[in-house]
Structure 1
Amino acid sequence: MTDRHAENGYGVLTEPATLTIERLLPGPAERIWGYITDSDLRRQWLAAGPMGSEAGSPFELTWRNDELTDPAGERPPGFPTVHSMPGEIIEIDPPHRLVITWGSTGGVTFDLAPQGKDVLLTIVHRRLGDRSLMLNIAPGWHMHLDILAARLRGEQPEPFWDGWTRLRLDYDRRLPA
């Protein structure tokens, strides 16, 4: 991990409206790439939805956070059980980099860098316009990545919503007001 990023897996603002979060994951890079681009693998930690293999390919991601862990924990009020969002692949270089559009924000970049037997996954989520959006997205990425790391290591992850709620409080203290 680089020194510009917080310890313990916390994301940091690398620009006023840009969240960067890193995870060192058990490799190889092709394995992690599969968990980012293959719908069946991605739905185990983030969201389902087939994704093309070239720039310009549209896709739709569908979140079912209640299904990510058993138990799921207590979903906070206002969060739907299912949420879908269209996107488009902007740049793709398997198994190193994927850049996609992400709803109304500036998009998300996934970079994979081998580190011995492990892979450093860096996610950069741009144009998170207001603090309330950041306080939903930062703990979301954090918890989703905790689940990915647990799945890759064959471990049982913490209940999604319990972790998200705990992390939201942490990020409320960590992110500038």
Structure 2
Amino acid sequence: MDGTVQQIAGGSTIRFERHLPYTVEAVWDSLTEPQKLVDWLAAAEVELTEGGRFQLTFANTGDVMNGKVIQVQSPSVLAYTWNSEDPNESVVQWELTPEADGCLLVLKHTIRVPERLSYMLAGWHVHLDLLAETLAGEVKGWPWSHWESMREKYAKQLGE
């Protein structure tokens, strides 16, 4: 359930795998529908078509992420740029695979210039925890203490 980092030519890829006891369609809706994204990730504006806008506004920091959808294969693959128009700079990719008892979610965030990987790992880790809780019907606020403990854990692992 913890994130991993793979060094690649020109950057890094952060990867998470989560087994979720929900259908691919239910998880897909949580990844793509603004009224569901706000419960676990951020307020969102989504144009779910290649070339469409994918904007997130994070309530916990006020940060805004502007991206562009680069791949949509409903309900199994979604990819968008992260604060860049250039897919070579930063891309988030979600893959959903059906399983007998739900689905496997794989998140990959590939970035050219990794800054403070522990912050990104902790952020995605906590957001994925919130996704699972939201799918279970629990809507909670951003848990700063959980994020900080995960950031410290990842920083230690990475030697930051």
Residues 106-125 of structure 1: pairs in structure 2 closer than 5 A: 106-125=90-109
User: Displaced runs of 4+ in structure 1, greater than 4 A?
Assistant: 155-159
Residue 12 in structure 1 maps to residue 7 in structure 2: no
State which drifts further: 28-37 or 157-166: 157-166
Please give the alpha-carbon distance, in whole angstroms, between the structure 2 residues aligned to 1:92 and 1:43: 20
State which drifts further: 90-99 or 110-119: 110-119
Pick from 121, 137, 149 the counterpart of residue 154 of structure 1: 137
Q: Is the 8 A contact 2:91 2:110 kept in 1?
A: yes
Equivalent pairs counted in the alignment come to 153
AA in 2 matched with 1:92: V
- Shift in alpha-carbon separation, 1:22–1:165, aligned structure 2, 3 A: same
TM-score, length of structure 2 as denominator length: 0.87
Please give the alpha-carbon distance, in whole angstroms, between the structure 1 residues aligned to 2:102 and 2:141: 22
SS class of match (2:146): helix
Residue 163 in structure 1 maps to residue 146 in structure 2: yes
Pick from 92, 100, 108 the counterpart of residue 80 of structure 2: 100
SS class of match (1:50): strand
TM-score, length of structure 1 as denominator length: 0.79
Pick from 21, 25, 34 the counterpart of residue 29 of structure 2: 34
| Long gaps (5+) in structure 2 | none
Counting aligned pairs with the same residue, the percent is 31
- Shift in alpha-carbon separation, 1:171–1:158, aligned structure 2, 3 A: farther
AA in 1 matched with 2:40: W
Higher strand share: 2
Q: Is the 8 A contact 1:39 1:49 kept in 2?
A: yes
AA in 2 matched with 1:127: I
CA RMSD of the aligned region, Å?
1.9
Equivalent residue, structure 1, for 2:54: 59
